[in-house]
Amino acid sequence: MNAAQLPPVAPEVTATLVEGLSPRLRKRLDAAVTKLAARPTHRDGDTTTIEVDDETELRLHAPGGVVAKVEDITCGCLLAPACVHRAAAACAAPAADLAPEPAEQATPEAPGPASATAPAAFGPDAAHALGLNVAPASGPDAATGVAPNAAPGRAPNIAPDAATPHETASPDQRAAADALWSAGAAVLEAGVDGAGAVTQSALLRAAHTARLRHLPRVAGAALSVVTLLRAARAGDPSYRTAELVTALAELLGTARRVGTASGAELAAVRGRVRRPYSPDGSLRLYGLFTEPVVTDSGHGGVRTWVAGADGRLFTVGDVAPGGVGRALGVADRAVRLGDSALTHRELGRAGLAVSGATVSPDGRLGAGKTVKAVTARGAAWTEPPLAALWETPPAEQAARALRSTSRYVDPDGTGSDLLFLDVELLGAVREPGGACLLAQCEGGVQVRLTVADDDPALAHRDNLALLAAAPGTRLRIIGRLIPATHPRLTLLACTHPTGEGTVDLGLDRLRRADLPDPSAPAHYAPPQPAGPGGPSPLYLLERRVEQTVPAGRAALGLLGDVTAETRRIRRGGLPTAAALLTALCASAAQRDRDLFGRLLPADTDGFAAYWLAAARYTAAVSESLCAAAWNAAEGDPVAMPPVPVHDAAG
């Protein structure tokens, strides 16, 4: 059994079942989850059955696809309903998404406080790192506000609700945010290894309360953290520590801002449960490509990208519970938009004429009853209006994508993280995590192309391996920006190597006969530098931030003296990073004693505040270095817009 075989369970159901266990059974809960995962499972309609043993069955009833009530999980053992099996099943299943689409969207697309005192010994740079309300510093060492967007497994990008200019959070909202801060700080204290089912249930309970208090953004971040924790503890190969770092920073930073934000900032911090759709008249759309979507919560489907006559990008999605199998099947289903009979694959290469269109702020097309759509002629990537997408210089496209996907600017739902490039393939490049494809685009910028999803059922990995065997091939590509100290994209679509048509690299499979030289082996390009100025010493702080997540606060407390690392960071021109590293490690090691010499409880809130400052600071500097890397061949670094810095004093 794996989590994808079980129906999603509402967070409050999981929290209630765990809270109802006796202290003795709570200690056995993690072992019960592991044991239950090895048992056979089968589904019959809305009911999923797990064979606990030869004589006992556990049933999860999910009308509508979600287990919404405690009574929907039943067990046949002698200790039921007070047994550990029901809580273990809820903890093993995916957490249900709490942000449904409005009725106008025909198919839902699923996914992403404290009382601690801010450190005052670092000067103004550290105030920026902690989000204090001061004027932002300039240059790559300036720190910025909290990350709003979570990674794969993250909460949906949600638009803010309206707020009056002087409105502030209610006492109930501040209390809910405080509870989420405490739950997130507990995760940092314990690390992945110690954040078992009981810790996760505390997060789920706090997320449910925050949702009831109209704080969907921070509640969604909490669900993302739980999903990633479960993936990490289960040894999911798709799990990445950096994604959990981003999700935790979003959770802690947003929870802290609830108590201090007002007006428009409060609206952004609250978020919005439902994505609004507004009328957009008549649209002439041209298909670009279709990508498979597989989420950590067990959802699967596709997203088709289209462009308007004015160059605006739109998406038509179909994502629901089902995983990678559903993603492959939905690609050949008809698009649910008006009267069109096109499948998603066909729409990626054809066109639509839409009247009465409705569009969300992030470009999703609504499929309400008033929307009319008929099939129309498409356009090749080399024909107008699509050809204009490739005419913008790569550095400008990267700057736009960074503004759209920044981890520390409140999301407004606008912009796109896609880049449109003309490249020449240079071959594969070996990296610690595997191999990627190196290509050179106009202006001399060399970009690394990686797979969007490692799942072997999808075509990404095999297609990239074949393209590595065709150095010198010139292609027109579409990729998604990955913020890094060197130009990096996930490769989503490209023109066919033969020059005929296009390839959706997650769905269409290239053959060796499609290459210019079918017998050529994979070509490895010579090693490339990490960035325009070589590796940045910022990684010394980044690795300590990431090290906290799997091992907890105690891992940093055992490091001892970090003077050598801070000295190297200062020589690299990042004094704030050096100060944050010193303070972070000192906070991790600090344990006071009472008058009798007994250890007092650790200051989890204080450590979480330092960790959040370091995580936000490294994200801000990394994005500045990313912009500079894309612009390295054109001279001056890309000018980034002013970044709002928020009061995080709590």
pLDDT, tens digit (0-9, with 9 covering 90-100), for 464-475: 999 998 899 999
Mean pLDDT of 112-130: 37
Rg (CA), the chain: 25
pLDDT, tens digit (0-9, with 9 covering 90-100), for 378-397: 999 999 999 999 999 999 99
Question: What is the rounded CA–CA span in Å between residue 36 and residue 150?
Answer: 30
Residue 313 DSSP SS3: strand
pLDDT, tens digit (0-9, with 9 covering 90-100), for 298-338: 788 999 999 999 999 999 999 887 888 899 999 999 998 87
State how far Cα 227 lies from the chain centre. 11
Residue 232 token pair:
């990490």
Check whether 18 has a pLDDT greater than 70.
yes
Check whether 94 has a pLDDT greater than 60.
yes
Mean pLDDT of 271-280: 79
Provide the pLDDT confidence category of residue 483 given band limits of 50, 70 and 90: confident
Return the pLDDT at 459.
93
Percent of the residues in the chain that have a pLDDT greater than 70, as a whole number: 81
Provide the pLDDT confidence category of residue 108 given band limits of 50, 70 and 90: very low
Comparing CA positions, the residue from 630, 427, 424, 384 lying closest to residue 521 is: 427
Provide the pLDDT confidence category of residue 623 given band limits of 50, 70 and 90: confident
Question: What is the rounded CA–CA span in Å between residue 450 and residue 438?
Answer: 9
Question: What is the rounded CA–CA span in Å between residue 159 and residue 412?
Answer: 6
pLDDT, tens digit (0-9, with 9 covering 90-100), for 22-61: 999 999 999 999 999 888 999 888 899 999 988 889 999 9
pLDDT, tens digit (0-9, with 9 covering 90-100), for 568-598: 999 988 999 999 999 999 998 887 777 787 8
Check whether 104 has a pLDDT greater than 70.
no
Provide the pLDDT confidence category of residue 118 given band limits of 50, 70 and 90: very low
Provide the pLDDT confidence category of residue 528 given band limits of 50, 70 and 90: low
Looking at every residue in the chain, the average pLDDT score rounds to 82
Provide the pLDDT confidence category of residue 202 given band limits of 50, 70 and 90: very high
Asked if 577 contacts 126 with a C-beta cutoff of 8 angstroms, the reply is no
Check whether 107 has a pLDDT greater than 90.
no
Check whether 182 has a pLDDT greater than 80.
yes
Asked if 524 contacts 429 with a C-beta cutoff of 8 angstroms, the reply is yes
Mean pLDDT of 414-432: 87
Mean pLDDT of 189-196: 93
Mean pLDDT of 542-565: 88
Return the pLDDT at 536.
78
Question: What is the rounded CA–CA span in Å between residue 518 and residue 511?
Answer: 9
Mean pLDDT of 87-91: 94
